[in-house]
Amino acid sequence: MQDLQTLEKEISANIEAAVDIDSLEDIRISELGKKGRVSLLMRELGTMTPEEKKAFGPKLNALKNGLNNAIQDRKNILEAEILNIKLLSESLDISLSSATEDAGSIHPISQVMDEVTEIFTEMGFSVAEGPEIENDFYNFTALNIPEEHPARQMHDTFYFPKDEEGNRKVLRTHTSPMQIRTMMEGEPPYRIIAPGRTYRNDSDATHTPMFHQVEALVIDKSIHMGHLKWCIEEFSRKFFEIDDVKIRFRPSYFPFTEPSAEVDIGCSFKNGEVLIGEGDDWLEIMGCGMVNEKVLENVNLDPKEYQGFAFGMGLDRISMLKWGIPDLRDFFAADLRWLKHYGFQALDIPSLSTRSSTIKGSK
Ligand code: DAH
């Protein structure tokens, strides 16, 4: 019979020396497992005399229990170590600086929309918003452009398929239908602007299928062309930030105004750049006129009682002029480098979406 004390010392030392759970398990199997040294000793008990059993049995049991406990203790220590290592290696290093957030910039068109809105609301205009998918009636007929009228060909219209009643909707070709919507919904006097997206089937350096306009409508009992002229000059001074900006009214034709004019702004072209407020060249920025009597009749206003002016301005065009952006298509190319260069920091102007609108949605 082996000296139990020596055996215990030997196995205990091995347990203490076990560096990981696997080698500890190997020790348990080789000492306490079925064929382990301690188990074999336990089996020998069966061959002993009752006296020997009495003397040897409790010692052997104590040895077995002691070793089991020692293995469990060592196991706890090793597991705690593993946990520690894991905690150390997986802990969050909060001293790391966070990834910097890329602040976006405001698209020049959005900026212009806000600036234009700001200028006109200061003059007492309110903002009207309406649908981009328009009825033929609002986009054309009510604006004195009946079906088959040659003026319809002035617009390269995107048409929707005809519905069951033979009506077809259009992507609005201008913001002028907002004149009709405004006058059909409310009561005069009117003083509104309607900024928004417009669509025409056209694409080159100065045309994109989607572009932006702002419409203006002023109707009251004694509005005349002098008001229109002042309004446009005042706007141009403020928008281009040039006090002696030159403005020219050229006679023109629009079905919804009579008389009609196109408005040019004085500029010069130098080294492929447009400079506003100097030189002898002209650039067209809008169409305008006195609202045609037929349009007033179409919305049940008496032309003998009410009259007024309207204008429609290309927002993309005036953005190109203000910041010398040569190609219209760049506005919509979604190139981040371009946006970083031409974009704006947020200004403290409430954006359109937060303004109250006089008209929302389609009828
Ligand atoms: N709707 C016209 C266009 O898109 C622009 C326009 C011209 C609007 C004259 C007006 C106006 O209100 O009076 O070409």
Compute the average pLDDT of residues 108-117. 94
At 35, which amino acid appears? K
pLDDT confidence of residue 320: 86
Report pLDDT for 361: 39
HSE at residue 310, side-chain half, CA atoms within 13 A, is 30
Considering the domain 108-360 in this protein, what is its CATH number? Answer: 3.30.930.10
Question: Using CA atoms, how far apart are residues 200 and 219, in angstroms rounded to an integer?
Answer: 28
Chain centroid, CA 44 distance in Å: 82
Average pLDDT, the chain: 88
Q: pLDDT (tens digit, 9 = 90+) per residue, 71-108?
A: 999 999 999 998 888 888 887 777 777 777 777 889 99
Ligand 1 centroid–CA 288 distance in Å is: 6
Q: What is the pLDDT of residues 137-192, one digit of tens each?
A: 999 999 999 888 877 777 789 999 998 988 889 999 999 999 999 999 999 999 99
Average pLDDT over residues 48-73: 87
Give the β-pairing of 273-276 and 307-314: unpaired
The domain segmentation of the chain, as residue ranges, is: 4-89, 108-360
Query: Treating both helix axes as pointing N-terminal to C-terminal, what angle do 315-323 and 225-240 enclose, rounded to 10 degrees?
Result: 40
- In this model, does residue 229 exceed pLDDT 60? yes
Q: Is the peptide bond before 131 cis (omega within 30 degrees of 0)?
A: no
What is the distance in A from the centroid of ligand 1 to the CA of 214?
9
- Whether 176 lines ligand 1, by a CB cut-off of 6 Å, is yes
Q: pLDDT of 208-218, one tens digit each?
A: 999 999 999 99
Taking the centre of ligand 1 as the mean of its atom positions, its distance from the CA of residue 70, in whole angstroms, is 94
Q: What is the mean pLDDT of residues 17-38?
A: 89
Residue 244 sits at φ, ψ, to 5 deg, of -105, 45
Choose from 30-39, 143-152, 176-185, 335-344 the range with maximum mean pLDDT.
176-185
Q: Using the structure block, give the residue that is written with the tokens 């309607």.
A: 194
Residue 310 Cβ < 6 Å to ligand 1: yes
